[in-house]
Amino acid sequence: MKFVEELVVEEFLPTFRSMLAERLRERDLTQSEVASILGISQSAVSKYAHGGVARNEAVLNDDRVRELADELADGLATGDLTPVGALVEVEILIRRLERGDLLARLHEEAVPGLAENSGYDVHDPDGALRAAERTRSSVRRGLRTLETTSGFAGLIPNVGSNLVECTPDADGIDDVAGVPGRIFDVKGRTTVPGDPEFGVSGHVASVLLAARQNGSDARAALNLRYDAELRDRLGSLGLETVEFDGETDTESAIASVAVAEADVLYQTGAMGIEPITYLLAPDAETAAEHVRDLL
């Protein structure tokens, strides 16, 4: 009797770890950095990267395995992806390969009696953890674009900016990832105080959720300063701009305007209320790219 988990441990993981270690080293990470990311020793990294570990040829040559190794290496090397996010993606691939696929075939070779019972599903690829990690990764990519976009600091309002994105089935602020403490202009430099977290944005998250509740399919939002020239420049990018009442509470004001097709919501200010612009987008990365195109 041999369990598929034994094949994962004995055949898949050594092969995949060696592939990932190779790719991380190719992206100029040190053995120490690779060891920290993979949670293994430096000597193990050396073995993985220099062919010191036996590899399963079927796993090694599977296009999906190769593509995932490349994707994870890119994300881990840039910091867009955490080891937890990488772990989730590998687990998802393993579960898929167990269901009437590569690992199921290897399992059937080891236990021939399984051949007539292949194709069972043991994992949900649309789980909440995966959705959350993908959302945080998108926000990280968007933030990196903003940090490297010359002139973005000049678009940050006095209250600070935040770039947020919600999970596909978000129903509250805890389902929205953003920057803790907001993004600020510090002597002309865009400053992001921390890694994206869920539940840390009250205002921008509430604007995004209100827009979604009133017909928008946007999953991301970014607040910017407001002036008429900026509004017109956003419009020149082909973005639909809609004004709402700045003197009414934000959620009620958004509910009173046509937001279903809006890409930009703005209010021109009131007594004690700073005029502000909210850029809506399908994801955080797209919102940041709009800003880059704007400048």
Return the pLDDT at 85. 94
Within 10 Å of residue 266's Cβ, how many Cβ atoms?
A: 24
- Which residue carries 């840039």 as its tokens? 78
Residue 26 to residues 29, 70, 83, Cα–Cα distance (Å): 7, 11, 18
Residue 236 to residues 225, 231, 239, Cα–Cα distance (Å): 17, 9, 7
pTM (two decimals): 0.79
Residues 14 and 32: beta-carbon distance below 8 Å: no
pLDDT in tens, 220-272: 999 999 999 999 999 999 999 999 886 677 778 787 788 888 999 998 877 77
Q: Enumerate the domain spans of the chain.
A: 4-116, 128-294
Return the pLDDT at 49. 75
- Which residue carries 């020239």 as its tokens? 229
Return the pLDDT at 290. 96
Low-confidence ranges of the chain (pLDDT < 50): 118, 120-123
Residue whose C-alpha is closest to residue 71's, from 148, 164, 141, 168: 141
Return the pLDDT at 154. 93
Superfamily for the 128-294 domain = Class II aldolase/adducin N-terminal domain (3.40.225.10)
Return the pLDDT at 118. 46
Percent of all residues in the chain with a pLDDT value above 70, rounded to a whole number: 94
Residue whose C-alpha is closest to residue 162's, from 40, 279, 35: 279
- Which residue carries 């059937």 as its tokens? 108
